[in-house]
Structure 1
Amino acid sequence: MPGSMIPISCHKHHLLLVGFLGFCINSFARGQKNNTLIFTKENTIRNCSCSADIHDCDYSLANLMCSCKTILPSTIDRASHRDLTIWFTDTSGLGMLLNFTVVHHLKLSLCGTTPLPTEYLAILGLQKLRINSEVKGQFLEQNLTIYNSSDDEMRDKMKVQHKDRQMFLYISVLDTSLFNRHSLLKSYSVENVSSITDHFPSLPYSDVFSTTSNKSYVVTFIY
């Protein structure tokens, strides 16, 4: 009957509205960026996915607000991380979680006051680093940019100059004793390193990296 019919124009508007709402919902879902938080506590390792920043070393809040699961050391995922936060209390736990892991944006929070020994950890592909530690009763957070998108032009020029090398591998070497000091976070980089062993023979893990001629390393020391 005519009274039960929906005008075509209204039907089109209805479809447009449904499509628009669906687009907004999908866009919102894509905008929810989950960060990975890994922490060790009481001989257990917890791997969490968090949609919001959690106050450093607040284990209870992390377990409440994030999606967390206990993992075994043998099952630690060393896949590439865009954003990774690690809460740690000693260098052995930190090394197990971080050494030779690809991380672009990294935050490290020392959840304790015990001085750390001098050890060196190798992080791959690091762009930005944040550290937070307590020294003499005061919390100190610092930020360091290793490289960013504005450096791409310079990297491209290097690739043209050394086009026989097929790739660059960014390696950051972190001195764990920096968490014991109040001094500013510092770094320096050595570019176009063809052999880690030849350039830095005393550097731990130098023999792990390939010495083939088609790679050129950019090595950054953080201290």
Structure 2
Amino acid sequence: TNQFMQERHEHAAPTETKMAPPSRRCLLLVIALGILAFGHFTKGQKNSTLIFTKENTIRNCSCSADIRDCDYSLANLVCSCKTILPLSAEKTSYHGHLTIWFTDTSALGLLLNFTLVQDLKLSLCSTNTLPPEYLAIWGLKRLRINAEAKHPLPEQSLLIHSGGESESKEKPVSLHKDWPTCMYISFLDMALFNRESSLKSYSIANVASTANNFPYFPYFKSVPIPSNKSYVVTFIY
């Protein structure tokens, strides 16, 4: 009997070895991979700002995913949005990605004129003809435009200045990487949305006096600009 029990125990031993729990090293590896995957997931959830103007109101939205241009219903459904009256639109700074859908230049001017925006996308959501007005934007690094509602052209992009960044393959207009963003001012000709030509720009560096350099450009007179600074002035058309 003892010999029979011993043989039975020896045959059962391999089965017990297969059911042994995983080692501590395996558990640590699983936990580490889980934390890494969660970190990549949350990193991709960074929100962007979407503002659209419609029917004399402004909707300011925070979106965790890209929304198809001018799809108002989807933006209201997916993004976290709030309504702002045009007269209550306050000047602010945008250091991340800012997308604006607009139908005319009146509300757009309230939002953007002499505002600090580094990465901007403008989408025209109507077939209106825009007047030859200029918008002045501080510190603009990148601009993207889409006028698909008016012209079936692909989205266009332009790198104004790199600001020390090297990830883009586009050639910057200005190479003054040491200058703070407040010393860059871009003038955007809104009439460019009426044309089917490609997006263009030219920059003038070391502008010490805007009044002397641009005596017939009235937009410098609307906001006081310190005369003891040097600027890079860019015209986008």
Q: TM-score range by the shorter chain?
A: 0.7 to 0.9
Aligned to 1:60: 73
CA distance in 1 between partners of 2:207 and 2:78 (Å): 44
Q: Distance in 1 between matches of 2:35 and 2:50?
A: 31
* Residues in 2 aligned to 1:12 and 1:36: alpha-carbon distance in whole angstroms: 43
8 Å CA contact 2:151, 2:196 repeated in 1 = no
Quick one: percent identity of the two aligned structures? 58
Q: Is the 8 A contact 1:113 1:134 kept in 2?
A: no
Secondary structure at 1:80 match in 2: strand
Question: Taking structure 1 as the reference length, what is the TM-score of the superposition?
Answer: 0.80
Gap regions ≥5 residues in structure 1:
1-6, 160-164
When Rg is computed on C-alpha atoms for both structures, the one with the higher figure is 2
Deviation for aligned residue 1:54: 1.4
Assess, with a 3 A threshold, how the Cα gap between structure 1 residues 93 and 167 changes in structure 2: closer, same or farther. Answer: closer
Given that 2:173 and 2:202 are in contact with CA atoms closer than 8 Å, whether structure 1 keeps it comes out as: no
Distance 1:152 1:184, change over 3 A: closer
Map of 1:83-162 to 2, 5 A cutoff?
A: 83-134=97-148, 138-140=151-153, 141-148=155-162, 149-150=165-166, 154-156=175-177
After superposition, the Cα gap between the structure-2 partners of 1:167 and 1:103, relative to the gap in structure 1 and judged at 3 Å, is: closer
Would the aligned equivalents of 2:93 and 2:116 in 1 still touch at CA under 8 Å?
yes
Looking at structure 2, the residues matched to 55 and 98 of structure 1 have their Cα atoms a distance apart, in angstroms, of 22
- Give SS of 1:139's match: coil
One-letter amino acid of the structure 2 residue matched with residue 155 of structure 1: H
> What residue identity is the alignment partner of 1:79?
S
Q: Which residue of 2 aligns with 1:33?
A: 46
Residue 90 of structure 2 is aligned to residue 69 of structure 1? no
CA distance in 2: counterparts of 1:82 and 1:132, whole angstroms:
19
Cα distance 1:54–1:10, how it changes in 2: closer, same or farther (>3 A)?
same
> Partner of 1:3 in structure 2?
none
Q: Structure 2 length as normaliser, TM-score?
A: 0.76
* Counterpart amino acid of residue 89 in structure 1: T
- Whether the 8 Å contact between 1:54 and 1:61 is mirrored in structure 2 is yes
Report the structure, 1 or 2, having the larger strand content: 1
Cα deviation for residue 20 of structure 1 reads: 4.6
Q: What corresponds to 1:49 in structure 2?
A: 62
Match of 2:186 among 172, 184, 189: 172
Pairwise CA distance, 1:194? 1.1
Question: Across the two proteins, how many residue pairs are aligned to each other?
Answer: 208
Structure 2 equivalent of residue 24 of structure 1:
37
